[in-house]
Amino acid sequence: MCEASEVGPVSLSWQTISAWADLAGYQLSPGDLEDLRAMSAEFAAGVTDYREVVVPPPYGERRQSQDQMVALIGLGIGALTEGVYALAVRFGWAR
């Protein structure tokens, strides 16, 4: 868990952790607070570090390469564009 900021995800603040604990009815020791903050910092760093990484699904091998997926997406966008153009011509918005 992390918080959003102008520069991207950041670790939870001490105040946020304290407010959560109060609302949830937990009494956290100073060590618990430090551990939660450290875990949040690691999570926020991981989100930032691995944002652009493509990882295969955990349930099996990838069935299509990234190039094949890009080609399929391109075909889909092309078909969508043709359909929108046909509608525009039909309603007189394009010639």
Q: What are the pLDDT digits (tens) for 6-46?
A: 667 788 888 888 898 899 998 989 898 888 888 888 888 88
Alpha-carbon gap, residue 80 to 75, rounded angstroms: 9
Cβ burial of 77 (10 Å; 0-12, 13-18, 19+) is: exposed
Alpha-carbon gap, residue 81 to 57, rounded angstroms: 30
**In the predicted structure, residue 1 carries a pLDDT above the cut 70:** no
**Average pLDDT estimate for 74-83:** 75
**In the predicted structure, residue 62 carries a pLDDT above the cut 60:** no
What's the whole-number average pLDDT of the chain? 77
